[in-house]
Structure 1
Amino acid sequence: MFPTGNERGGMTLFALVALSALFIVAIVLADVVRSRMTAMDAESDARRAGRTLLASFEPSLLKYGLFGASESASRTKAAEALAAEASAERSKGAAFRFYDASDGFRRTFAIEPLYHLGDHRVFQRQILERMKYIAPIEFGIEVTEKLFKAKPQIAAAKQYAELSQQLQELVNKREAALDRAWTTAQALAGAAGGSGGSLQSLMNRLHESLEEAENANRDVSKQLNAPAPRAPNGPETTFPHVTVYPLDFFVTYRVGAGTVASMHEALAAAAAEAAAVPKEQAGAALERVERFREDLRRYVSEWLGARRAFETKRAQEGNEIRRLEANQRKAAETQLNRRRDNWKDLCTVETMADYLTLTGPDGLFEKYRAYNEHSAAGGIEPELDAEDAESFLTSAVRFTNAIGELTGELLDETFVNEYAIMHFTYRTDDKPKYPVKLGTNIGDRASHRLRGQEAEFILYGLPSCHMNLTAMHTELFVLRTGLRTMEELLKPETGAKAATPWLALLAALAQGAKAANDDVDVLLSGEAVDIPFVPGATMDYRDHLRLFYLLHSRDESTLSRMQALIELNTGIDLMRRYTAMRVRTEAAPSFLVIPTARKETEVVVSY
């Protein structure tokens, strides 16, 4: 059957309603798509604006491996214009568009700079991104692995020096106690001549001194009988030939003193008895007293004479040892004072103003220090300011061992340290014979205000050229003295030829300081010197600088000093050079069904 007129009308109406619904759905979907495309294009334009701003980075910062862009109204407007131009270009393309940028499509930008290079976190992140690719090879091969091979020998030499000092202290303690015992023994002999009074207090003092001397003598014997420290695969070392008193020495000493005290008591008892007897019997009693007194006098004379002969010989030996030690100390201190001032040529009048700009109360270092909220640090190790040979020896051994212990560590600080050495000038970077293998990235040296001393300033942070180069020169000499002294200490003949531990140590120090002076001269000329205990390995000035950075530069002041130097050299305020931009956009496209609303998009663009 064919549908009636009413039925055909109903179907037509149903079809119109269905088509209308589909049309409305299509329009809504088109508006949704337009909304999504608006957001995508807005994000694209925002990123384009951000990249446009960051593309205008400072070329003068590139030689430091840094990327940072300034922000200004003119640059922001230019970036917005480029983004708008790109949006317009998209709308003119041949591809089908759901909206036309010229048809009621409006866009605004809000650009906010983020994360400037004056912030240590940002500054260090850029350093690490660069240095992690090139620093490990350079640093590991040139320094760490070299000195790391010498760590066992350095440790053995340090132990030998410490044990030798302990041995000398024990000998000094023993001899001082014997000096006190001899003084007390003489007083005992003098007091024993009388028939009255007690010698107990003198005997107590004598026993205390002898006990202290005997204990020290026993410790000396134990240490001498113990094997001396020896480096792996190295020659055997020996302690100096130190006198060790036999056990019966102290027994005889005590027995003799005890005999004097006993005979004195017998004399005192005889005198008391003589005073108590009747007068007619006094003669025999007094004869007995005189006999006791004569026996005591004779024994004391023999005992004291034997002791005096021993003490005279001991005093002569002690005087000779002190004379030898004084001569050896003088020889060592002569070498310690021979350090030359062959670095002062870099300290000119012009550098004084630059240091004031860097380190003054309102200087560039203070600016970055205050922003990053850290305490100022820097300077030479305080214990290195020793003037006498013994103190300098202790300091040099400790200093050298401390650096040796740090080798083998590769931390973030290591990469920052390598950055400082590669991008800033230092004492020998312009030497024609300097063996540059990787090459420094410092650009034109003329653009560096503190030529030949920047890395030293970063390391020590002292307020003058003279002070920073003095600190470097001092630590260079101390390290080389420590290494050369340790080299001498581990030679078997060093201990065998010495009469006391101090003579062995001072002789090694004199030879070590002499060799260190020669080493420093070679290093400052740009050449390399050998590393004790590591055959065929050498180190130059730059390598030593790396070691001192390992020791000193584990604080934030190092970063602040780098930032201050960069601003001094380039005139660029790192706090106004940004590494990221936050871009906010608002778009208001015309929709067919959905009520028009502003669409906000935010992106962060960074290097």
Structure 2
Amino acid sequence: MKKLLIQENGVVTILSVIIMASLLLFFSVLIDYARIAAFQLKTENEARTGIRSVLSAYDDSLYEKYGLFGRGGTEGKAIFTEVLGGSGAKYTGLDTRSHFDFIVSQLEEADVQTAYTLGQHDVFARQVLEEMKYKAPVDFTLEVLSKFTSLSKALKESSGAVQTLEDLRKLYEKREELLEKALSLQEKAVTTLIDNEAVAAIPAGSGSSGNSAATSLSLADRYASFARQVEHDASLPEDEEPAYSYSIASYRHSVSQMQSKLRTGGGKREQHDSLLEDALRKIEQSREVNAQMERIVEESKKATVGAYDEVAGADVAGSDDYALPNDTVRDLEEMRKSGEKLLRSSEWFQGYKQELLAQSSRGYAAASEIDQLISLWSTAMSWPLSSSRQASLQNGSSKAVSVVSAYEQDYGPHGTVMKQRRESVLDSSVKNKLSEQKAKTKSLWKQAKNMLGGLSGTSAMPEHQEQFAKVKERYQQNLLFNDQGGETAGPRKVTQAADAEDAAKESSGLMDSLFSGMSDMLLDGRDYFYFGEYAAGRFSYFAPQQLRKLLESGDTDGLSQMASFDNQELEYVLYGFHDPMGNLIAAYGELFSVRLAIRTMEGLVASRSLGHPLLILSAAIIYGLEKTMEDMISFATKGTAPISKYIKAELSYLDYLRIFMLLHGGDQEKRLGRMIAVIEHNTGLTLAQVPSGVTGEARVSMKLWFLPGVMGMLGRLDLLQGKVVGNRYETTQTVGWSY
């Protein structure tokens, strides 16, 4: 081998040089390529470290008060540049006396851009959910839900009973009004056909002459004498004065008066029939209303599984501590189904119709007899007179007396048929009690409206209205920022129910929605529940003690001063009114409504001994109003009230606001916008300008050791992630990160 390598002809030496040069080229490229790969990894890690360092500078006050991460403090680019420089980019050459760096990087350019902001609803919502996902369910379940779970079945039956009986009550009153109109028309038909004077003209007893005027029978008995007197005077010579002129004239006058009375009573047969036909129509209309009531009753008997049952079936810790008395739910269920007691049978309506048809027929007969009697008298009083007509007059009068008296004995003001029908239609004992209860209910409802009416009657202070205007502007700007188009219409104004009965029904419907929200939270963990719990924990609310003077005496002094935005942030998030009193009216109105629903449930149980469904309902509403007003005073005095007389536990005003968050899931985007507006108002920040995620871009370079031309050629073949500029390799690292 030695001889072969040192031959003088040099062939092998040249070959060796070629081989060594090739190896040197290969290893040079390989070394720089390895350096480039390591450089890529190193700069990527440095960029990630830099961007995390940028996000480490967050707004302390924003986090401490609201649990939100947003960029704050030192400017992001400065941090990013400093971190990249401190990681090795500051070394621009080799100093073998201190170290040997295989990869010496140089920062050419660096920049930081905002990727996400806290003002974006999806970003804001994500941070809120992260903050609340562990804490919120535990808090709500232990503090509130366990106390409602035991009431769920009772409130389900109570809500069904109130809504069913209230629907039936309105139809019941409509049906009874129609029946009373039919009864009035029936009575009017009798007096139209035979009024009091006509009855006097045809007395109940044969031969009676009446108290103040001659009757048909008495005149008939005197007819023969009258005819003879007329015949006598007619036979006298012309120069002789009539002997009976005064008696004849008096008799004719009495007959004329009697006929006039008979015509007054018996000459209105068409009106009599028309009134009875109208009464028949009223009965048919009332029967149709009764059919609507039957459908409601049948629907009320159907057992349904809904939100109440889902809440009742939930395994909630602590719910066993709040048990209702035995049979409470069963009693309420029976009341829900008790509406059938208000129905009238189809046989009842058919019997009433038959009665009117019979009255019409007998009225026709009575009118015919009167007409015939009038005709008999007209004939009897015409010339020539004949005493033989007395018998027909007596018979006609007796027959008319018999028919008319029989009609009047059945259908007159004191007639047996009308008496029974009046008792059947009017049902006075129940309706009188209902009327008394309604008067008391009306008085209590007036007190309740006055109790809360001071809120709507309180004038807002200009500075408070200005606060709300600024918050509204922030809210609308945030909606626009999130492409929600701003708010074109405000929330629906809260209106009080027209009467206590409507208020009770509305409160039952409110309770249905409330339990639906609880069920959704238990089954699906709805996001709006977490948002509500976040707001309840972070925002202010209007303490009910501030309403004590208003609720106790109606005194509104000082209330307007306390109605600033800073005192009702939670109510604003919940309802969204941009005025000082609107959110308070809505919150305390719903608080009253929920308390009324619970207290009315208690009233149904307490009043079940009254028997009649509407008496029970009316008494329950009275009980509910009285106890609810006591609850409102309790809130104003100590901030809490008993959840029910059956549950020995109390809930605060704040607890109810948390419950109402479940009731008003509403438009999530608008609720998030209001939450952001509250935070911006308190911090002075614009969350749309507060970064929660950033993107860092750094351009760094490294000096190539060997063959930059070859590395440049590799770069043109897309074998490198960066590019070769002169004798340096450059790459750009882009890294994004968020809280």
TM-score higher than 0.5 here?
A: yes
- 1:207 corresponds to which residue? 280
User: Does the alignment pair 1:416 with 2:531?
Assistant: yes
- How far apart, CA to CA, are the structure 2 residues paired with 1:373 and 1:399? 32
- 2:608 corresponds to which residue? 495
Q: Is this contact kept in 1: 2:545–2:636, CA < 8 A?
A: no
Runs of at least 5 residues in structure 2 that lack an aligned partner in the other structure: 195-264, 304-326, 547-563, 713-723
Q: Which string of whole-angstrom CA distances, capped at 9 and with x for unpartnered residues, describes residues 28-56 of structure 1? A: 11121222222222222322332232222
- 1:562 corresponds to which residue? 675
Aligned CA-pair RMSD: 4.3
Q: Is this contact kept in 1: 2:373–2:400, CA < 8 A?
A: no
Tell me whether 317-326 or 147-156 shows the greater mean CA deviation.
Answer: 317-326
- 1:518 corresponds to which residue? 630
Aligned counterparts, 1:579-590, within 5 A:
579-590=692-703
Structure 1 counterpart of 2:567, which letter? G
SS in 1 for 2:540: coil
Equivalent position to 1:257, from 340, 356, 372 = 356
- 1:138 corresponds to which residue? 139
- 1:100 corresponds to which residue? 104
- 1:600 corresponds to which residue? 732
SS in 1 for 2:109: strand
Tell me whether 181-190 or 570-579 shows the greater mean CA deviation.
Answer: 181-190
- 1:394 corresponds to which residue? 505
Deviation at 1:403, TM superposition (A): 1.0
Aligned counterparts, 1:34-113, within 5 A:
34-62=35-63, 63-70=65-72, 75-88=76-89, 97-101=101-105, 105-113=106-114
- 1:552 corresponds to which residue? 664
- How far apart, CA to CA, are the structure 1 residues paired with 2:37 and 2:673? 46
Deviation at 1:571, TM superposition (A): 1.7
- How far apart, CA to CA, are the structure 1 residues paired with 2:429 and 2:602? 29
Structure 1 counterpart of 2:280, which letter? H
Q: Pick closer, same or farther for the CA change 1:582–1:430 going to 2, 3 Å.
A: farther
SS in 2 for 1:604: strand
Q: Pick closer, same or farther for the CA change 1:311–1:80 going to 2, 3 Å.
A: same
SS in 2 for 1:427: coil
User: Does the alignment pair 1:407 with 2:514?
Assistant: no
Tell me whether 418-427 or 287-296 shows the greater mean CA deviation.
Answer: 287-296
Equivalent position to 1:309, from 396, 419, 442 = 419
Q: Is this contact kept in 1: 2:510–2:594, CA < 8 A?
A: yes
Tell me whether 476-485 or 524-533 shows the greater mean CA deviation.
Answer: 524-533
Structure 1 counterpart of 2:502, which letter? S
Deviation at 1:99, TM superposition (A): 3.1
Q: Pick closer, same or farther for the CA change 1:383–1:205 going to 2, 3 Å.
A: farther
Tell me whether 184-193 or 565-574 shows the greater mean CA deviation.
Answer: 184-193
Q: Looking at CA atoms only, which structure, 1 or 2, has the larger radius of gyration? A: 2
Structure 1 counterpart of 2:674, which letter? R
TM-score relative to the length of structure 1: 0.81
Q: Pick closer, same or farther for the CA change 1:513–1:191 going to 2, 3 Å.
A: same
- How far apart, CA to CA, are the structure 1 residues paired with 2:131 and 2:477? 25
- How far apart, CA to CA, are the structure 2 residues paired with 1:346 and 1:35? 74
Structure 2 counterpart of 1:587, which letter? V
SS in 2 for 1:519: helix
Equivalent position to 1:574, from 687, 704, 728 = 687
Q: Pick closer, same or farther for the CA change 1:569–1:96 going to 2, 3 Å.
A: same
- How far apart, CA to CA, are the structure 2 residues paired with 1:97 and 1:520? 77
- How far apart, CA to CA, are the structure 1 residues paired with 2:489 and 2:141? 25
Q: Is this contact kept in 2: 1:485–1:512, CA < 8 A?
A: yes
Q: Which string of whole-angstrom CA distances, capped at 9 and with x for unpartnered residues, describes residues 60-95 of structure 1? A: 1012111111498x5423431331122247888988
> Using CA pairs below 8 Å that are at least 6 residues apart, which structure has the higher relative contact order?
1
SS in 2 for 1:118: coil
- 1:504 corresponds to which residue? 616
- How far apart, CA to CA, are the structure 1 residues paired with 2:433 and 2:99? 102
TM-score relative to the length of structure 2: 0.68
SS in 1 for 2:703: coil
Q: Pick closer, same or farther for the CA change 1:321–1:523 going to 2, 3 Å.
A: closer
- How far apart, CA to CA, are the structure 1 residues paired with 2:302 and 2:416? 36
Tell me whether 30-39 or 589-598 shows the greater mean CA deviation.
Answer: 589-598
Deviation at 1:329, TM superposition (A): 1.7
Q: Pick closer, same or farther for the CA change 1:535–1:325 going to 2, 3 Å.
A: closer
Aligned counterparts, 1:136-215, within 5 A:
136-189=137-190, 190-191=192-193, 194=266, 201-213=274-286
Tell me whether 92-101 or 304-313 shows the greater mean CA deviation.
Answer: 92-101
Structure 2 counterpart of 1:339, which letter? M
User: Does the alignment pair 1:455 with 2:566?
Assistant: no
Q: Is this contact kept in 2: 1:174–1:217, CA < 8 A?
A: yes
- 1:466 corresponds to which residue? 581
Q: Pick closer, same or farther for the CA change 1:288–1:249 going to 2, 3 Å.
A: farther
- 1:435 corresponds to which residue? none
- How far apart, CA to CA, are the structure 2 residues paired with 1:224 and 1:59? 62
Structure 2 counterpart of 1:511, which letter? Y
SS in 2 for 1:584: strand
Percent identity over paired residues: 22
Q: Pick closer, same or farther for the CA change 1:524–1:96 going to 2, 3 Å.
A: farther
SS in 1 for 2:693: strand
SS in 2 for 1:128: helix
- How far apart, CA to CA, are the structure 1 residues paired with 2:84 and 2:460? 52
SS in 1 for 2:119: coil
Runs of at least 5 residues in structure 1 that lack an aligned partner in the other structure: 432-448
Structure 2 counterpart of 1:262, which letter? S
Q: Pick closer, same or farther for the CA change 1:538–1:89 going to 2, 3 Å.
A: farther
User: Does the alignment pair 1:385 with 2:496?
Assistant: yes
Deviation at 1:418, TM superposition (A): 0.8
- How far apart, CA to CA, are the structure 1 residues paired with 2:493 and 2:655? 23
Q: Is this contact kept in 1: 2:112–2:695, CA < 8 A?
A: yes
Q: Pick closer, same or farther for the CA change 1:423–1:223 going to 2, 3 Å.
A: closer
Structure 1 counterpart of 2:540, which letter? T
Q: Is this contact kept in 2: 1:240–1:496, CA < 8 A?
A: no
Tell me whether 449-458 or 559-568 shows the greater mean CA deviation.
Answer: 449-458
Deviation at 1:220, TM superposition (A): 7.2
Structure 2 counterpart of 1:99, which letter? I
- How far apart, CA to CA, are the structure 1 residues paired with 2:475 and 2:54? 28
Q: Pick closer, same or farther for the CA change 1:509–1:92 going to 2, 3 Å.
A: farther
Q: Pick closer, same or farther for the CA change 1:247–1:232 going to 2, 3 Å.
A: closer
Q: Pick closer, same or farther for the CA change 1:343–1:210 going to 2, 3 Å.
A: closer
SS in 1 for 2:567: coil
Structure 2 counterpart of 1:463, which letter? H
SS in 2 for 1:589: strand
Deviation at 1:494, TM superposition (A): 1.0
Deviation at 1:132, TM superposition (A): 0.8
- How far apart, CA to CA, are the structure 2 residues paired with 1:8 and 1:232? 118
- How far apart, CA to CA, are the structure 2 residues paired with 1:144 and 1:92? 71
- How far apart, CA to CA, are the structure 2 residues paired with 1:7 and 1:485? 122
Q: Is this contact kept in 2: 1:113–1:581, CA < 8 A?
A: yes
Q: Is this contact kept in 2: 1:321–1:499, CA < 8 A?
A: no
SS in 2 for 1:337: helix
Q: Pick closer, same or farther for the CA change 1:473–1:254 going to 2, 3 Å.
A: closer
Deviation at 1:455, TM superposition (A): 1.1
- 2:483 corresponds to which residue? 373
- 1:297 corresponds to which residue? 404
